[in-house]
Amino acid sequence: MIKAILTVTLALALVAAGPRARQPPASQQPPPPTPQQPSEIEVPISGEAGAPPRLAVPDFIALTTDAETAAIARTIGQVLWDDLNFEREFAFIPRDTYASIPRATSFADVAFDRWRELNADGLIVGTVQKVGTTVKVEMRLFNVRTRQSAFARQYDGSAANPRLYAHTMSDEIHKSQRALNGVARSKLTFDSDRDGERMAGTVQNRSIKEIYICDYDGENQRRVTVGRTLNIAPRWSPDGRSIAYTSYRRGGANIFISNIFQGTLDEVTKGEKVGENWLPAWSPDGTRVAFSSTRDGNPEIYVANRDGSNLRRITNHPGIDITPTWSPSGTQIAFTSDRSGTPQIYVVGIDGLGLAKKTAESYCDRPTWSPAPYNEIAFASRSGPGFDIKVLDLATGASRALTFGEGTNESPAFSPNGRHLVFTSTRSGKAQVFTMARDGKDVRQITRTGNNEKPDWSR
Amino acid sequence: MRSVRPALILIPVLLVLTAAACGKKKPPVARPAPPPPSVATTTAPSRPPAPPEPVAEPTIVPPEPVRDDAISAASLDDLNKNSPLKPAYFDLDSSDLTASAQRALDENAALLKRYASWSITVEGHCDERGTAEYNLALGERRAIAARAYLVSLGIPADRLRTVSYGKEFPFDPGHDEGAFAKNRRAHFVITAK
């Protein structure tokens, strides 16, 4: 419960923070919604034998008559439907059939018979009430057969971002009903040249790139760096409060960390003779950063504390070693090396021992280790003129393709529950960020303006 | 004594100048007139020869201001816009210097020897047929290869900084081999002169 409250606080802080880099500290954010949960027994709703439960999610009921409350009620119902649909744990009664059923005006007059006729196993009923400047949102998931509430939640908080109530409900429903960690409150980050700003001090016509974040579904896109230079390849810290990335603001490439809720900037690689430093990756506990550096004359993988101290070199080979990713346990690192002649994926222990080559394709890059329970590494693999996303099963050594030449597809990263990937694709023209399910289905375009690349998904 | 020497030097100089001036002009009036053709004029006294032109000092034209050449006169921005330093182009997935890349670097080395005060950033660039991440390192390889070659030709290493931009700054935004070939390069930017 404490974790849930913390997560709600964090998510609200994200929502309430103003655009651009400098956000006020979290303590200045409006108070988070306080869940006050009715003490009902939470029982998972089941579907027909073996089939997923069939849910109906009508718009929430506006208990106050103003237009804002009506809009919030509509938004929550629709976003909740999208959020629940994203994990494909439930089947859904199509929304266009709901019109035939009398709309409930409270939890007391739900037409269960009619919902049962539509074959619904579960029905989500919610209410929204404006209380001063805040809103009170109640949600109940009913078992349509027994007419009992199987799961109920109540939230009070700001009316600024109704989507966040839906995201929170969705994650809690998935947790309670399906024992699944949903991703509705997770966030994406990527680099983009969408603002068309020019790099300072160059005569070439060069667009800078800055770091952006957005909700998992592409909403609330916002820029979080002001470097006026090349800021690329962002990676969320495990606590979702910082982003590590490669920045050229000192001339060469270096590792920076933006603490996006404090508006502060940390330099992991600074000082003389540190060479080029690229592509940071957070350790699972968030205390360390792995990256590639030429400080000893050749691109090698290093690990350092997040303040740059305790630097240790992991690889030692005259080939290129770059773009590290941590195993979920934090004991191994996968990376790209061209030591065999072409770029391929390798795995090595954090102590530098136990090096193993994992791919033998024409050209592989940007490995990303999946979270548990999946023991997989996603990567970009050259397939003809461009690249496709592939996933390597570390247990069997077999890899499967998730994209099939729809433009070129690069830079995959997993969602925190391992069930989705975010990646870059040129299938719609310029490079854009897309998400897809781990079977390659349900491809969704997240960005549309400028070039948007090298995404990552928050934990 | 001090004033004598310039005077002594001046005299021959003036003499030479005078001679040059006379020789150059060769005024026809100084020549004796041809004998009168007709009888009628035999008794008439012949015209006296015209006096020689007065000796005049040549006017001194101030010299052209010293402009050794357009390159050293140009600003850094203008120089880099139409850089006298040629890019070295690379093959796909490769950081090996081709023969034509070496020729470009030979010319660049000659220029860098002539303008010995220039500091250079060698940028490594890649085309979009490689991945964004690996290209950061491949671009560095290309920059290093170009720099090492210039150093081998005698350019001091401390004048040559390297940076890789991977495929982040394509020179040609196209998606064909013509564009790709332009984007696989070591590019030279003059940062100080």
Q: Please report the beta strands in A240-287, taking only residues with DSSP state E, as ranges in sequence order.
A: 242-250, 252-259, 264-267, 277-282
* Cβ distance of A343 and B141 shorter than 8 Å: no
Instruction: Please compute the mean of the pLDDT values over residues A10-28 and round it to a whole number.
Output: 40
> A403, A184 in Cβ contact below 8 A?
no
Looking at this predicted complex, what is its ipTM? 0.89
Chain B 66-85, residues with CB within 8 Å of chain A CB atoms:
77, 80-81
Indicate whether A115 pLDDT > 90: yes
Rg of chain A on CA atoms, in Å:
24
pLDDT block averages, 10 residues each, chain B of length 193: 50 47 48 54 62 75 67 84 94 97 98 95 97 98 98 97 96 94 96 91
* Cβ distance of B93 and A363 shorter than 8 Å: yes
- Tell me the percentage of chain A whose pLDDT exceeds 90: 82
pLDDT tens by residue, A313-358: 999 999 999 999 999 999 999 999 999 999 999 999 999 999 999 9
Looking at the complex, report in whole angstroms how far the Cα of residue A386 sits from the nearest Cα belonging to chain B: 6
Domains of chain A: 2-178 (3.40.50.10070), 187-457 (2.120.10.30)
Instruction: Please compute the mean of the pLDDT values over residues A414-430 and round it to a whole number.
Output: 97
Contacts of B133 in chain A (CB under 8 A): 233, 278-279, 322-323, 336, 365-366, 411, 454
* Cβ distance of A336 and B163 shorter than 8 Å: no
For A40-44, A390-394, B26-30, which range has the lowest pLDDT when averaged over its residues?
Answer: B26-30
- What's the pLDDT band for A35 if we cut at 50, 70, 90? low
Looking at the complex, report in whole angstroms how far the Cα of residue A203 sits from the nearest Cα belonging to chain B: 6
Predicted pLDDT of residue B158: 95
Q: How many angstroms separate the CA atoms of A284 and B41, rounded?
A: 124
Q: How many Å from the N-terminal Cα to the C-terminal Cα in chain B?
A: 47
Indicate whether A362 pLDDT > 90: yes
Contacts of B129 in chain A (CB under 8 A): 385-386
Answer with the residue of higher pLDDT: B10 or A392. Answer: A392
> b/e string for A302-336 if b means 16 or more Cβ within 10 A?
bbbebebeeeeebbeeebbbbbbbbbeeeebbbbb
Indicate whether A286 pLDDT > 80: yes
Instruction: Please compute the mean of the pLDDT values over residues A114-118 and round it to a whole number.
Output: 94
Chain B 124-153, residues with CB within 8 Å of chain A CB atoms:
128-134, 136-138, 140-141
Predicted pLDDT of residue B50: 75
Q: Which residue of A has its CA nearest to B177?
A: A385
> A95, A27 in Cβ contact below 8 A?
no
What's the pTM value of the predicted model, to 2 decimals? 0.83
Indicate whether A252 pLDDT > 60: yes
Rg of chain B on CA atoms, in Å:
34
Mean pLDDT of chain A: 90
> A247, A210 in Cβ contact below 8 A?
no
List beta partners, residue A212: A190, A223
Predicted pLDDT of residue A204: 65
* Cβ distance of B163 and A251 shorter than 8 Å: yes
Contacts of A453 in chain B (CB under 8 A): 132
Domains of chain B: 1-61 (no CATH), 70-192 (3.30.1330.60)
Looking at the complex, report in whole angstroms how far the Cα of residue A222 sits from the nearest Cα belonging to chain B: 21
Contacts of A206 in chain B (CB under 8 A): 169
Q: How many angstroms separate the CA atoms of A49 and A133, rounded?
A: 46
pLDDT tens by residue, A130-157: 999 899 999 999 999 999 999 999 999 9
Indicate whether A7 pLDDT > 60: no
Q: How many angstroms separate the CA atoms of A331 and B167, rounded?
A: 32
Contacts of A299 in chain B (CB under 8 A): 137, 140
Indicate whether A263 pLDDT > 70: yes
Contacts of B93 in chain A (CB under 8 A): 342, 363
Q: How many angstroms separate the CA atoms of A441 and A420, rounded?
A: 9
Looking at the partner chain, which of B130, B134, B169 has a beta carbon nearest the beta carbon of A206?
B169
Cα–Cα nearest to A322, from A213, A415, A233: A233
Put the strands of the sheet holding B185-192 in their side by side order.
Answer: B88-89, B185-192, B119-125, B160-164
Predicted pLDDT of residue A256: 97
Q: How many angstroms separate the CA atoms of A226 and A21, rounded?
A: 7
Q: How many angstroms separate the CA atoms of A410 and A426, rounded?
A: 9
* Cβ distance of A411 and B136 shorter than 8 Å: no
Contacts of A276 in chain B (CB under 8 A): 136, 140, 163-164
Indicate whether A39 pLDDT > 60: no
Q: How many CB atoms lie within 10 A of CB B46?
A: 12
Looking at the partner chain, which of A203, A206, A410 has a beta carbon nearest the beta carbon of B132?
A410
Angle between helices A2-16 and A162-178 (to 10 degrees): 150
Indicate whether A4 pLDDT > 90: no
For A12-16, A232-236, B170-174, which range has the lowest pLDDT when averaged over its residues?
Answer: A12-16
- Best residue in B85, B127, B133 to probe A by mutation, most A CBs within 10 Å? B133
Q: How many angstroms separate the CA atoms of A47 and A90, rounded?
A: 9
Coil/strand/helix, residue A169: helix
Answer with the residue of higher pLDDT: B41 or A191. Answer: A191
Q: Is the omega angle on the peptide bond into residue A94 within 30 degrees of 0, that is, cis?
A: no
Long-range Cβ contacts of A138-143 (<8 Å, 24+ apart): A138/A107, A139/A60, A139/A80, A139/A169, A140/A107, A141/A45, A141/A173, A141/A177, A142/A110, A142/A112, A143/A43, A143/A45
* Cβ distance of A279 and B77 shorter than 8 Å: no
